[in-house]
């Protein structure tokens, strides 16, 4: 029962990486076979420029996510969680999108590589929303709301006290 979570993570990571490697190898092989056999107007320049770097992403994900075992077969390291959010999630998105683009290029032609332009546009969108969220967070701290309505900056308790004239009421018995 010890290290059950680590063993589960190791099993899941190994399965995900093996499946990803098989799909990637099949798609790249399909593209290359179609390129060299049918002589359709497919150029290798966009393939090398756009698809080959994702092999580096896949190698990195394999490097950090692959479980490591000791000499006796015991689990030394389960690897990083490949379902983690943030940069890991973004790398999976780029990998899957590139695989989709390879399929589109195999079905249509080299113009389908333009679908890959969605990745930088999506990156710019993520940076913009992050910066705006941080800016909004700093504005809530009081530093970014200069010249704004003073009533909007007051809490409800402060507005009630100001409305009462900040006087103390005594109860009579």
* pLDDT tens sequence across 83-138: 998 889 989 998 999 999 999 988 888 888 888 888 889 889 988 998 998 888 88
- For 91, other C-beta atoms within 10 Å of its C-beta total 17
Residue 75 DSSP class: E
Please tell me the chain's helix, strand, coil percentages from 3-state DSSP, rounded to the nearest 5: 70, 5, 25
State the pLDDT confidence band at 146, using cuts at 50, 70 and 90.
low
| Mean pLDDT (the chain, rounded) | 84
State the pLDDT confidence band at 74, using cuts at 50, 70 and 90.
confident
Q: What is the pLDDT of residue 148?
A: 54
Span 150-154, average pLDDT? 62
Helix (H) or strand (E) holding 69: strand 68-69
Q: What is the pLDDT of residue 40?
A: 63
Span 26-39, average pLDDT? 88
Chain-centroid distance of CA 67 in Å reads: 22
CA distance linking residue 101 with residue 24, whole number of Å: 12
CA distance linking residue 57 with residue 78, whole number of Å: 19
- Select the more confidently predicted residue: 140 or 22: 22
CA distance linking residue 58 with residue 47, whole number of Å: 16
Span 13-24, average pLDDT? 95
Q: What is the pLDDT of residue 144?
A: 47
Chain-centroid distance of CA 103 in Å reads: 22
Over 90: is that where the pLDDT of 25 sits? yes
Q: What angle do CA 127, 132, 136 make, to 5 degrees?
A: 150
CA distance linking residue 126 with residue 87, whole number of Å: 12
Contact 98, 27 (CB under 8 A): no
Helix (H) or strand (E) holding 76: strand 75-77
- Select the more confidently predicted residue: 93 or 168: 93
**Is residue 101 exposed (0-12), middle (13-18) or buried (19+ Cβ within 10 Å)?**
buried
């Amino acid at each position: 029962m010890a290290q059950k979570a680590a063993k589960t993570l190791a099993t899941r990571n190994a399965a995900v990486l093996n499946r990803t490697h098989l799909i990637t190898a099949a798609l790249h092989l399909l593209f290359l076979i179609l390129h060299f056999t049918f002589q359709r107007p497919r150029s290798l320049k966009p393939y090398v420029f756009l698809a080959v770097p994702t092999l580096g992403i896949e190698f990195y994900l394999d490097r950090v996510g692959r479980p490591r075992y000791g000499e006796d077969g015991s689990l030394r390291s389960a690897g990083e969680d490949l379902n983690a959010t943030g940069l890991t999630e973004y790398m999976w998105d780029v990998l899957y999108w590139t695989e989709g683009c390879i399929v589109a290029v195999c079905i249509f032609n080299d113009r389908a590589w333009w679908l890959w332009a969605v990745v930088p546009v999506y990156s710019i969108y993520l940076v913009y929303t992050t910066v705006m969220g941080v800016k909004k967070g700093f504005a809530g701290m009081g530093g970014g709301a200069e010249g704004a309505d003073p009533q909007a900056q007051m809490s409800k308790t402060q507005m009630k006290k100001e409305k009462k004239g900040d006087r103390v009421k005594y109860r009579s018995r």
